């Protein structure tokens, strides 16, 4: 199977068409937006099995993971947007001081225009269609560019989109680096990018040519900090779930663990049972465990296991033909270990020993701000200390990942883990320009006389 790329020669026509559609105000009526959101919902609902099959072919994703981690989240967001769109899109009248009492002041919620949405391969449906919900809700036209690495999914998205959504307003472009590089030569009104920080810099640079605003949803090393007083069996279950969901290829997967030596021992004791409970005796045979996306990423992860100076205590089995890597725990990993350089983005869990929580916080602060932070503790003061003294995109306390599933919580990074946030209303806001409008009546002229020259500054004393 090869993915059919969109010809670069078609780009000018596509872009011109979507710009025209926007200029004609076709995507702005609220009823039009709601209808398109309904159709996007139907696209996911009526083709659920085909989409899950594509995700299985790309990532060996179990249907439950495809529903929980991709399809259901987007459907829910469509429903939320349909329900709240009238309120989100209605003009906001603001209070004004005495000096402006004769004016009408309000904020219009205008769509920004034509937007470009570029997705990554690990959640290949979610990462293009979830931002698209925001773009449609805001009244924009949009191009989505799914990741070429999840080629079955990119193919089905390209096939389904025109069957459900208005082709004059929304378009899927397929391709790789060449196509994105070409696309970035055009002027968009917003670029929404999900992927690595290295490419994020290129996107930001290209966007700066037109001063186009960007949302960058990037990654990073998200730490789990374990206090000594926790419930180890529950913690083990939650950590394994979060690290093996999509085989650790989740931007907010816990990347590494920080804890004391005593806690490391207590945790590791629980792990084999949890792994058996969740995946049986032979994890490779479990239908619930995903695979690594391709050989390049597989080789990268295996190399990390070969290079680590830590001790592989649990797991370690790999199979290149099957792109399988067992959930693998590496104990006593040191600061300067290869595993501690870049985001792991796979089912390898290094444990770094620290003396106490204060040292854990210091360790985190010596790195880039992570996308997520996972403190596990029974002590509220400890949790507060960690939150007060670190920065991260988001936080789940005593669990992992789930803050990202709450539509009313903004999702995004800080610093190297990204800029801007979305989900729910925030997605609408990303693609909306808050346009301030003041309407002045002609009859107020008498009161305005003082602002004209010749000036008399005494009149302006407050």
Minimal distance, residue 154 CB to ligand NAD, in Å: 9
Residue 180 binding ligand NAD, by CB under 6 A = yes
The residue within the footprint of ligand NAD, chosen from 66, 122, 244, 432 (CB under 6 A), is 122
Kindly write out the interface string for residues 369-408 of this chain, putting x where it contacts ligand NAD by CB under 6 A and - elsewhere: --x-------------------------------------
Q: Site for ligand NAD (CB under 6 A): how many residues?
A: 29
d(CA 163, CA 159): 7
* Binding segment toward ligand NAD, per CB under 6 A, in 109-117, 134-142, 188-196, 429-437: 188-196
d(CA 125, CA 119): 8
Burial class (CB in 10 A: 0-12, 13-18, 19+), 71: buried
Please give the residues from 135 up to 164 whose contact with ligand NAD meets the rule CB under 6 A: 145, 147-149
Minimal distance, residue 215 CB to ligand NAD, in Å: 10
CB 245 within 8 A of CB 278: no
Please give the residues from 213 up to 272 whose contact with ligand NAD meets the rule CB under 6 A: 217-219, 251
Q: Per-residue DSSP letters for 135-185?
A: HHHHT-EEEEE--TTSHHHHHHHHHHHHHHS-TTTEEE----HHHHHHHTT
Three-state DSSP class for 352? strand
Burial class (CB in 10 A: 0-12, 13-18, 19+), 303: exposed
Residue 17, Cβ neighbours under 10 Å: how many?
Answer: 16
Q: For tokens 């389904």, what's the residue?
A: 160
Read off φ and ψ for residue 255, nearest 5 degrees: -85, -45
The residue within the footprint of ligand NAD, chosen from 65, 326, 337, 343 (CB under 6 A), is 343
CB 421 within 8 A of CB 411: yes
CB-wise, 407 or 413, nearer to ligand NAD? 413
Minimal distance, residue 426 CB to ligand NAD, in Å: 13
- Residue 172 designated active-site: no
Minimal distance, residue 446 CB to ligand NAD, in Å: 56
Tokens of 131: 């931002």
* Binding segment toward ligand NAD, per CB under 6 A, in 94-102, 108-116, 121-129, 255-263: 121-129
Q: Per-residue DSSP letters for 396-410?
A: -SSSSSGGGG-TTS-
- Residue 251 designated active-site: yes
Please give the residues from 191 up to 210 whose contact with ligand NAD meets the rule CB under 6 A: 194-196, 199, 202
Tokens of 195: 């992927």
The residue within the footprint of ligand NAD, chosen from 22, 56, 88, 121 (CB under 6 A), is 121
Which among 251, 259, 326, 429 is annotated as catalytic? 251
Which among 70, 217, 270, 326 is annotated as catalytic? 217
Residue 65 binding ligand NAD, by CB under 6 A = no
Kindly write out the interface string for residues 408-437 of this chain, putting x where it contacts ligand NAD by CB under 6 A and - elsewhere: -----x----x-------------------
d(CA 27, CA 44): 21
Can you give the binding site for ligand NAD, defined by CB under 6 A?
118-123, 127, 145, 147-149, 176-177, 180-181, 194-196, 199, 202, 217-219, 251, 343, 345, 371, 413, 418
- As annotated, the active-site residues are 217, 251
């Amino acid at each position: 199977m090869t993915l059919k790329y969109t010809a670069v020669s078609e780009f000018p026509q596509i872009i011109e068409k979507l710009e025209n559609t926007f200029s004609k105000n076709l995507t702005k009526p609220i009823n039009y937006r709601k209808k398109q959101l309904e159709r996007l919902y139907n696209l996911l609902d009526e083709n659920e099995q085909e989409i899950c099959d594509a995700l299985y072919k790309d990532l060996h994703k179990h249907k439950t993971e495809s529903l929980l981690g991709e399809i259901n989240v987007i459907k829910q967001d469509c429903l939320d947007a349909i329900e709240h769109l009238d309120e989100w899109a209605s003009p906001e009248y603001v209070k004004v001081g005495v000096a402006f009492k004769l004016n009408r002041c309000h904020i219009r919620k205008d769509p920004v225009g034509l937007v470009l949405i570029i997705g990554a391969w690990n959640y290949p449906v979610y990462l293009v269609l979830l931002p698209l919900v925001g773009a449609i809700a805001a009244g924009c036209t949009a191009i989505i560019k799914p990741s070429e690495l999840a080629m079955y999914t990119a193919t089905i998205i390209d096939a389904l989109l025109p069957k459900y959504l208005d082709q004059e307003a929304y378009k899927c472009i397929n391709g790789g680096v060449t196509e994105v590089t070409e696309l970035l030569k055009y002027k968009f009104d917003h670029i929404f990018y999900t992927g690595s920080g290295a490419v994020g810099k290129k996107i930001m640079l290209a966007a700066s040519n037109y001063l186009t605003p960007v949302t960058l949803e990037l990654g990073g090393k998200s730490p789990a900090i374990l206090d000594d007083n926790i419930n180890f069996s529950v913690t083990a279950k939650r950590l394994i779930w979060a690290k093996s969901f999509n085989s650790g290829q989740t931007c907010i997967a816990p990347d590494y663990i920080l804890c004391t030596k005593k806690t490391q021992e207590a945790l590791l004791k629980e792990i084999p049972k949890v792994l058996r409970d969740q995946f049986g005796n032979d994890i490779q045979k479990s239908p619930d465990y995903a695979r690594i996306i391709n050989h390049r990423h597989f080789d990268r992860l295996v190399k990390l296991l070969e290079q680590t100076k830590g001790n592989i205590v649990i797991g370690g089995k790999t199979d290149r033909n099957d792109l399988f890597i067992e959930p693998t725990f590496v104990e006593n990993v040191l600061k300067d270990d290869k595993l501690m350089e870049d985001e792991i983005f796979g089912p390898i869990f290094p444990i770094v020993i620290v003396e106490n929580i204060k040292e854990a916080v210091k360790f985190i602060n010596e790195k880039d701000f992570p996308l997520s932070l996972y403190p596990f503790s029974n002590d509220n003061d400890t949790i507060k200390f960690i939150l007060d003294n670190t920065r991260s995109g988001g936080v789940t306390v005593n669990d992992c990942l789930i803050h990202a599933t709450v539509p009313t919580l903004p999702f995004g990074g800080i610093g190297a883990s990204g800029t801007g946030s979305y989900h729910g209303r925030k997605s609408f806001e990303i693609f909306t320009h808050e346009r301030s409008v003041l309407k002045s009546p002609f009859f107020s002229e008498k009161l305005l006389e003082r602002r004209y020259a010749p000036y008399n500054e005494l009149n302006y004393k407050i």
